[in-house]
Amino acid sequence: MAKDTCPRCDGDGTIKCPTCKGSGHVGIPIISEVAEAVLGTSDECTRCDGSGEVRCPNCGGKGEV
């Protein structure tokens, strides 16, 4: 049986991270830059590890359903 392309990710297997909305970062940019410079902390999204994408929950990252 042929599998269909996943409609949620269009067959890519990944979707835009819902936590950072695809930016790879969380927080207010200017405050984050200051915090990183002064405190050595990063505003990188921990859900997607800064990539801006996460595995599609609909197809489990396979791109097919």
Q: Which sequence spans correspond to the domains of the chain? A: 14-55
Q: Tens of pLDDT along 12-43?
A: 999 999 999 999 988 766 666 666 667 655 68
Q: How much is the pLDDT for 57?
A: 97
d(CA 39, CA 47): 21
Residue 38: its H or E element: helix 29-39
pLDDT band at 3 (very low <50, low <70, confident <90, very high): confident
Q: How much is the pLDDT for 32?
A: 60
d(CA 57, CA 24): 18
